[in-house]
Amino acid sequence: MSELFPAVAARSDRPALRCGADSLTYGELARAAGSLGARLGGVERVAVWATPSARTAVAVVAALLAGVPAVPLNPRTGERELAHILGDSAPGAVLAGPEDILPAGLAKLPRIDVGLDATGSLPAALDATGPLPAAGEEEIDSESPALVVYTSGTTGPPKGVLLSRRAVAASLDALAEAWAWTADDVLVHALPLFHVHGLVLGILGPLRRGGEVRHLGAFSVEGVARELGAGGGTVLFGVPTMYHRLADALSDDEGLVRALAGARLLVSGSAALPVHDHERIAAATGRTVVERYGMTETLMNTSVRPGGQPRPGTVGTPLPGVELRLVDEDGSVLGACDGEAVGEVQVRGPNLFSGYLNRPEATAAAFDGDWFRTGDVAVREADGTVRLVGRRATDLIKSGGYKIGAGEIENALLDHPGVREAAVTGEPDPDLGERIVAWVVPADASAPPVETELADHVAGLLAPHKRPRAVRYLDALPRNDMGKVLKKALPTAGRT
* Contacts to ligand AMP by CB under 6 A: 151, 196, 269-272, 291-296, 315, 374, 376, 388, 391, 398, 403
Residue 87, exposed/middle/buried by CB under 10 A (0-12, 13-18, 19+)? exposed
- 72: Cβ–Cβ under 8 A, 6 or more apart, which residues? 47, 48, 50, 56, 60, 147, 149, 193, 194, 195, 199
User: Phi/psi at 123 (nearest 5 deg)?
Assistant: -60, 150
Name the binder of 291 from ligand AMP, ligand MCA, none, CB < 5-8 A by kind: ligand AMP
Instruction: For residues 439 and 462, give the distance between their C-alpha atoms in angstroms, rounded to a whole number.
Output: 18
**Least gap, CB of 388 to ligand AMP (angstroms):** 5
What is the largest distance, in Å, between two alpha-carbon atoms of the chain?
73
Cα-based torsion angle of the residue sequence 253, 263, 286, 244 in order, rounded to the nearest 10 degrees: -60
| Of positions 250, 459, 470, 485, contacts ligand MCA by CB under 6 A | 459
**What is the separation, in whole angstroms, between the first and last Cα of the chain?**
52
Question: Based on CB atoms, which residue is closest to ligand MCA, 5 or 219?
Answer: 219
Q: Which of 205, 170, 211 is nearest to 347 (CA)?
A: 170
Question: Based on CB atoms, which residue is closest to ligand AMP, 55 or 287?
Answer: 287
Question: Based on CB atoms, which residue is closest to ligand AMP, 374 or 411?
Answer: 374
Question: Based on CB atoms, which residue is closest to ligand MCA, 26 or 402?
Answer: 402
- 97: Cβ–Cβ under 8 A, 6 or more apart, which residues? 49, 51, 53, 55, 113, 114
Across 381-475, where does the E strand assignment appear?
386-391, 396-399, 402-405, 419-429, 433-442, 470-473
Footprint of ligand MCA on 188-247 (CB under 6 A)? 191-192, 195-198, 218-219, 239, 241-242
Judged by CB under 6 A, the stretch of 225-233, 255-263, 317-325, 399-407 that binds ligand MCA is 399-407
Judged by CB under 6 A, the stretch of 26-34, 111-119, 438-446, 453-461 that binds ligand MCA is 453-461
**Does residue 160 belong to the site contacting ligand MCA (CB under 6 A)?**
no
**Least gap, CB of 292 to ligand MCA (angstroms):** 7
Name the binder of 151 from ligand AMP, ligand MCA, none, CB < 5-8 A by kind: ligand AMP
Name the binder of 391 from ligand AMP, ligand MCA, none, CB < 5-8 A by kind: ligand AMP
Question: Based on CB atoms, which residue is closest to ligand MCA, 460 or 478?
Answer: 460
Question: Based on CB atoms, which residue is closest to ligand AMP, 16 or 199?
Answer: 199
Footprint of ligand MCA on 308-347 (CB under 6 A)? none
